[in-house]
């Protein structure tokens, strides 16, 4: 399968090139040239399949031409060493819990898949050159990618994160690992980190010296596998007799997660409509209202993994609907919430249902409370475990919550990071030497 750039000004590339390059040479994002519609028989029987079985079928649609079937099945099953259960929170509102992986956030799925696919491709072309993965994180990406790639031969990971803007629990998940993982603490915002990474990919001198790739959600190997759990969520709802008129609500930052859902929909998944739930970073919300896309500096919020002022995957959303605002707005509605609204939703939901939301999932829950219509089934993506934001969550709901053991393990390690300014020349110097 070939992958084209959303800017359409460079030739199409192979899967391995798209995965290693991350970003197209014209700064566009790669898209698969074909999005296969899965047959009716698959959906008729889907409620009898496990997440892993569903994922193998969906993965074939994208990667089946480029990865041997046995290897692909292994990559998928090894990636999904955990489940993504759908849980009823209250009447008509369900949570798709994506936090049962090793770093307790949905990004484990894409990061684990990408590490394994990259390893497969490196094994095929035994040039013996180290692949350097650069990843900017506003919190959860860094931990998912670092853990997904930890100890993988032939790969070195650099995690760039904004100093003082990620929670201590998030930070220890990528600064205490050692081995092939280097944490870089940037004196700036997440957008600065993202800019440093993008500039590195476009720097000729740097690329002549070392093999660089990205593990941000712009990478097709990270973003496409996120389609797996949309199918599984539908299967679970269908098994509960709630497979009709499903509205899927995605707490969104860089819009990789929701784009994977839109792709699942294009593959025939019967979802009625989508909601993109935003925090105070309301760029997409404003786009839906006005048809104009005006990136802004990101604003720091309680839901910090969604603090994005210029969502990378917006280009893919546009591409999927040929740039037509009215079509995009007919499939996706938007919401934007202040920190006070997020906190209130967390508190009320806990008091009324006993369900503990994290600040990101809370945006999804609240959006459904506001926009779900009679007869619809609402599903929001609970994108991280609340314990990842322990102090915030406990402060809001007024009750202690349990920290899962695998999270406690990270907190025992010693923090190691490299201090960096937000100036590209400093970052380049560091990598060159």
Residues 383-422 that bind ligand PLP (CB under 6 A): 383-384
Residues numbered 185-244 forming contacts with ligand PLP, rule: CB under 6 A: 217
Query: How far apart are the C-alpha atoms of 95 and 146, rounded to whole Å?
Result: 26
Minimum gap (Å) between residue 40 Cβ and ligand PLP: 29
d(CA 159, CA 184): 6
* Active-site position among 107, 165, 198, 369: 107
Tokens matching residue 66 = 């480029």
Residue 171 interacts with ligand PLP (CB under 6 A): yes or no? no
DSSP count for the chain of H helices, then E strands: 20, 13
Give yes or no for residue 251 binding ligand PLP (CB under 6 A): yes
- Give the range of 13-21, 253-261, 285-293, 391-399 binding ligand PLP by CB under 6 A: 253-261
Restricted to residues 82-111, the positions that interact with ligand PLP (CB under 6 A) are 105, 107
Minimum distance between the CB of residue 384 and ligand PLP, rounded to whole angstroms?
3
Q: Which of 188, 253, 334, 386 binds ligand PLP (CB under 6 A)?
A: 253
The question of whether 107 is a catalytic residue gets the answer: yes
Q: Which range in 73-81, 246-254, 333-341, 392-400 contacts ligand PLP by CB under 6 A?
A: 246-254
Beta bridge partners of 382: 97
Between CA 249 and CA 257, with CA 251 as vertex, the angle to 5 degrees is 85
Binding status of residue 283 toward ligand PLP by CB under 6 A: no
Q: Which stretch binds ligand PLP (CB under 6 A): 15-23, 236-244, 248-256, 418-426?
A: 248-256
Q: Which of 254, 278, 333, 336 binds ligand PLP (CB under 6 A)?
A: 254
Site map 296..325 versus ligand PLP, x via CB under 6 A: ---------xx-------------------
**Please, what is the minimum distance in Å from the beta carbon of residue 130 to ligand PLP?**
27
The span from the CA of 182 to the CA of 176, in Å, is 9
Nearer to ligand PLP, 360 or 390 (CB): 360
Query: Among 109, 114, 341, which Cα is nearest to 229's?
Result: 109
Does the CA dihedral 272-370-297-99 come out positive or negative?
negative
Q: DSSP for 265-312, please give it.
A: HHTT----EEEEEESS--HHHHHHHHS----------SSGGG--SS-T
Orientation of helix 140-149 relative to helix 107-124, angle to 10°:
40
Instruction: Quickly list H helices, 240-337.
Output: 256-266, 283-290, 314-320, 325-331
Residue-wise DSSP of 68-80: -HHHHHHHHHHH-
By CB under 6 A, residue 162 contacts ligand PLP: no
Which one, 14 or 167, has the nearer CB to ligand PLP? 167
Cα distance from N-terminal residue to C-terminal residue, the chain: 37
Quick one: which of 30, 63, 121, 255 contacts ligand PLP (CB under 6 A)? 255
CB of 84 to ligand PLP, least distance (A): 14
Edge to edge, the sheet with strand 86-90 lists: 86-90, 93-97, 377-382, 246-251, 273-278, 332-336
Strands 86-90 and 30-32 turn out to be unpaired
Give whichever of 140 and 171 is closer to ligand PLP, judged by the CB atom: 140
**Ramachandran quadrant class, 299 (left: phi over 0; alpha: psi -120 to 50; beta: rest):** beta
- Does 116 participate in binding ligand PLP (rule CB under 6 A)? no
Among 22, 28, 162, 256, binds ligand PLP (CB under 6 A): 256
Enzyme catalytic residues: 107
Give contact residues for ligand PLP (rule: CB under 6 A).
105, 107, 140, 217, 251-257, 305-306, 360, 383-384
């Amino acid at each position: 399968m070939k992958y084209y750039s959303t800017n359409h000004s460079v030739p199409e590339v192979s899967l391995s090139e798209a995965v290693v390059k991350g970003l197209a040479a014209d700064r566009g994002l790669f898209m698969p040239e074909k999005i296969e519609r899965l047959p009716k028989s698959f959906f008729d029987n889907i409620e009898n399949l496990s997440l892993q079985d569903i994922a193998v079928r969906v993965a074939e649609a994208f990667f089946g031409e480029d990865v041997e079937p046995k290897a692909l099945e292994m990559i998928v099953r090894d990636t999904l060493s955990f489940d993504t259960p759908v849980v009823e929170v209250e009447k008509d509102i369900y949570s798709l819990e994506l936090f049962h992986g090793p770093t307790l956030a949905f990004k484990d799925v894409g990061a684990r898949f990408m590490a394994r696919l990259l390893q497969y491709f490196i094994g095929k072309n035994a040039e013996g050159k180290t692949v350097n993965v650069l990843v900017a994180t506003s919190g959860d990406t860094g931990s998912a990618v670092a853990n997904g790639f930890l100890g993988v031969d032939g790969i070195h990971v650099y995690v760039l994160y904004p100093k003082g803007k990620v929670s201590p629990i998030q930070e220890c998940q990528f600064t205490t690992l050692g081995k092939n993982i280097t944490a870089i603490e940037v004196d700036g915002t997440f957008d600065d980190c993202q800019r440093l990474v993008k500039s590195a990919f476009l720097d000729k001198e740097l690329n002549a010296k070392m093999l660089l790739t990205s593990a941000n959600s712009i990478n097709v190997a990270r973003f496409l596998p996120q389609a797996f759990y949309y199918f599984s969520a539908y299967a679970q709802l269908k098994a509960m007799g709630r497979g009709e008129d499903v509205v899927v609500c995605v707490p969104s930052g860089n819009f990789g997660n929701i784009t994977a859902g839109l792709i699942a929909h294009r593959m025939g998944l019967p979802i009625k409509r989508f909601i993109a739930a935003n925090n105070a970073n309301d760029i997409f919300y404003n786009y839906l209202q006005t048809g104009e896309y005006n990136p802004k500096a990101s604003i720091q919020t309680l839901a910090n993994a969604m603090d994005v002022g210029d969502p990378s995957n917006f280009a893919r959303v546009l591409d999927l609907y040929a740039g037509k605002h009215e079509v995009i707005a007919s499939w996706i509605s938007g919401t934007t919430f202040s920190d006070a609204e997020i906190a209130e939703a967390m508190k009320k939901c806990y008091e009324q249902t006993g369900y503990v939301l994290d600040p990101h999932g809370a945006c999804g829950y609240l959006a459904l409370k506001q926009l779900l219509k009679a007869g619809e089934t609402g599903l929001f993506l609970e994108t991280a475990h609340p314990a990842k934001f322990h102090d915030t969550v406990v402060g809001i709901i007024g009750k202690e919550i349990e920290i899962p053991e695998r999270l406690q393990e990270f907190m025992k390690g010693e923090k190691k990071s490299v201090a960096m300014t937000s100036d590209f020349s400093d970052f380049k110097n560091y990598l060159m030497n």
